[in-house]
């Protein structure tokens, strides 16, 4: 961004970053008059150009809601991490076009055929692009399993896939551990592998939470239409992509704190603001969870815009993935959520269901697999959070979790789906209010 001091923080999938960036960022922060550092993180389906547009547009709208000269006191750092573009899980990709052949449909839909070869090839291409050379054996095993979904082929696919994404069923991150357990079992036992892939061959029939189904006009359930070996393999790989995305976000978030923020040595006191969208919300939450005191750097705020991670992540009650976040920022924690966001409300909830649990209502606050961007944080202790703000009068309180029901301003438009419509002027106004709280 040419109008403010800014810098890229570019990480690889293992969280590695050029050590020289610490000195560069320290120099920017040590300039006279600098008071704040804003670190922004993009989410999935973003390349460098997408990230630059997101950061530039959101920041311009935030600055428009600040007093003259206030932005001159701020340094902006844009995180770049490998969250390459890939298609949404095909069982949820076209939920906005209910009834289209080959997508989820409203109650009464019937399975029609296996996933078309072209769509299957697209799943493989996305998986290969996302993981790089480590995906080669998985892709070969996937092609075999798509032809013969037998115990040997299923086991080979599970073994290679588990190795490619380094599945860890003992991860301290509860969300990742839950995702990994069935895959690890399948990788260790051909019977488990056959059962897992076999369960994914049939289309999901998922009960919708009443508020979700009613708001979206979908009735009480959604039905996938694809059935067969290619569909099973495609679902398996799509769910592993979600797993890898969640894992990378956590790894990069920890590295952001360990390898950049903790090593900064600004010459005077600076306030830190962490801002994340989608899986980038998970990234900056992981960074905040890892935070310890740094001389002259105060963790002031955390802003999560349509976070694509568990709505239980901040909870002590259910051992959430990031239970140490609440109370660390001296200023506000601000979180937007809305069921307008189909990526969080349905796609995330569906793709997080290796268990294929069809008994719970999908997408709302009672859903074990629900997303932060759909429902806001759940199962927080008494006195921790403020009541939902449903207006556009933003006054986030310091030391509190402030949630913002964004039904009126994070919406689908002709230019964007709701999930990605977080750079608009109203969200910019919200971000400005957090920074100036």
pLDDT score for 205: 67
pTM of the model: 0.91
Alpha helices (runs of H) in 165-278, residue ranges in sequence order: 174-188, 190-201, 210-216, 229-255
pLDDT score for 223: 66
Q: Which of 299, 331, 334 is nearest to 429 (CA)?
A: 334
Greatest Cα pair distance in the chain: 67
Per-residue confidence band for 98, with pLDDT thresholds at 50, 70 and 90: very low
What would the pLDDT profile of 379-429 be if each residue is shown by its tens digit?
998 899 999 999 999 999 999 999 999 999 999 898 888 999 999 999 999
Asked whether residue 93 carries a pLDDT value surpassing 60, the answer given is no
pLDDT score for 346: 78
Higher pLDDT pick, 204 / 62: 62
* Residue 115 and residue 90 in contact, taking contact as beta carbons nearer than 8 Å: yes
pLDDT score for 96: 40
Asked whether residue 215 carries a pLDDT value surpassing 60, the answer given is no
Rounded mean pLDDT of 355-373? 68
* Residue 25 and residue 39 in contact, taking contact as beta carbons nearer than 8 Å: no
**CA 168, CA 180: separation in Å to the nearest integer?**
6
What would the pLDDT profile of 162-192 be if each residue is shown by its tens digit?
999 999 999 888 788 878 888 999 999 999 9
Weakest-pLDDT range from 62-71, 97-106, 248-257, 270-279: 97-106
Rounded mean pLDDT of 103-131? 75
Per-residue confidence band for 97, with pLDDT thresholds at 50, 70 and 90: very low
Q: What per-residue string of b and e applies to 10-43 under the rule 16 or more CB within 10 Å gives b?
A: ebebebebeeebbeebbebbbeeebebbbbbbbb
Give the number of other CB atoms < 10 A from CB of residue 336: 26
Q: Which CATH architecture has domain 6-84+248-348+367-435?
A: 3-Layer(aba) Sandwich (3.40)
Average pLDDT, rounded, for the chain: 88
Residues 6+ apart with CB under 8 A from 423: 53, 54, 57, 58, 61
Determine how β-strand 205-207 pairs with β-strand 221-223.
antiparallel
Per-residue confidence band for 294, with pLDDT thresholds at 50, 70 and 90: very high
Determine how β-strand 105-106 pairs with β-strand 221-223.
antiparallel
Weakest-pLDDT range from 106-120, 298-312, 331-345, 354-368: 354-368
Per-residue confidence band for 287, with pLDDT thresholds at 50, 70 and 90: very high
Tell me which range, 83-97, 168-182, 233-247, 285-299, is most confidently predicted by mean pLDDT: 285-299
**CA 199, CA 206: separation in Å to the nearest integer?**
14
pLDDT score for 70: 93
pLDDT score for 209: 64
Per-residue confidence band for 99, with pLDDT thresholds at 50, 70 and 90: very low
Weakest-pLDDT range from 13-27, 104-118, 241-255: 104-118
Percent of the chain with pLDDT over 70: 85
Per-residue confidence band for 283, with pLDDT thresholds at 50, 70 and 90: very high
**CA 337, CA 342: separation in Å to the nearest integer?**
11
Rounded mean pLDDT of 279-302? 97
Higher pLDDT pick, 202 / 402: 402
* Residue 344 and residue 373 in contact, taking contact as beta carbons nearer than 8 Å: yes
pLDDT score for 47: 84
What would the pLDDT profile of 325-363 be if each residue is shown by its tens digit?
999 999 999 999 998 888 888 777 777 666 545 445 666
């Amino acid at each position: 961004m040419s109008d403010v001091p800014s810098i890229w923080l570019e990480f690889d999938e293992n969280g590695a970053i050029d050590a020289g960036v610490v000195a560069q960022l320290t120099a920017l922060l040590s300039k006279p008059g600098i008071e704040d550092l804003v670190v922004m993180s993009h989410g999935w389906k973003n390349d460098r150009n997408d990230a630059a547009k997101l950061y530039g547009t959101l920041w311009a709208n935030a600055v428009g809601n600040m007093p003259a000269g206030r932005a001159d006191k701020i340094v902006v750092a844009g995180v770049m991490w490998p969250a390459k573009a890939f298609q949404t899980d095909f069982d949820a990709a076209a939920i906005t076009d209910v009834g289209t052949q080959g997508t989820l449909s409203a109650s009464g839909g019937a399975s029609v055929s296996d996933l078309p070869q072209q769509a299957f090839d697209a799943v493989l291409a996305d998986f290969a692009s996302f993981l790089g050379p480590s995906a080669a054996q998985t892709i070969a095993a996937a092609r075999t399993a798509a032809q013969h979904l037998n115990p040997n082929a299923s086991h080979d696919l599970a073994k290679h896939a588990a190795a490619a994404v380094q599945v860890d069923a003992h991860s301290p991150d509860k969300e990742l551990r839950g995702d990994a357990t069935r895959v690890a079992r399948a990788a260790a036992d051909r019977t488990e592998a056959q059962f897992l892939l076999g369960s994914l061959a049939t289309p999901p029939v998922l009960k919708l939470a009443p508020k979700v189904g009613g708001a979206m006009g979908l009735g009480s359930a959604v039905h996938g239409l694809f059935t067969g070996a290619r569909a099973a393999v495609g679902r398996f790989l799509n769910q592993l992509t979600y797993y890898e995305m969640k894992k990378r976000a956590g790894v990069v978030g920890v590295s952001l704190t360990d390898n950049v923020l903790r090593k900064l040595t600004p010459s005077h006191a600076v306030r830190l603001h962490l801002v994340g969208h989608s899986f980038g919300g998970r990234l900056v939450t992981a960074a905040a969870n890892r935070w310890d005191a740094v001389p002259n750097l105060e963790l002031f705020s955390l802003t999560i815009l349509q976070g694509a991670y568990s709505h239980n992540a901040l909870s002590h009650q259910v051992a959430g993935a990031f239970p140490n976040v609440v109370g660390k920022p001296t200023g506000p924690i601000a979180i937007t959520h809305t069921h307008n966001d189909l990526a969080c409300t349905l796609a995330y909830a569906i793709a997080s269901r290796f268990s294929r649990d069809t008994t719970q209502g999908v997408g709302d606050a009672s859903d074990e697999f629900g997303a932060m961007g759909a429902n806001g944080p759940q199962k927080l202790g008494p006195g921790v959070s403020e009541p939902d703000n449903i207006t556009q009068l933003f006054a986030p309180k310091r030391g509190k979790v402030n949630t913002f029901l964004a039904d009126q301003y994070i919406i689908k438009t002709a230019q964007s789906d709701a999930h990605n419509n977080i750079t608009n002027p109203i969200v910019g106004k919200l971000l400005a209010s957090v920074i100036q709280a």
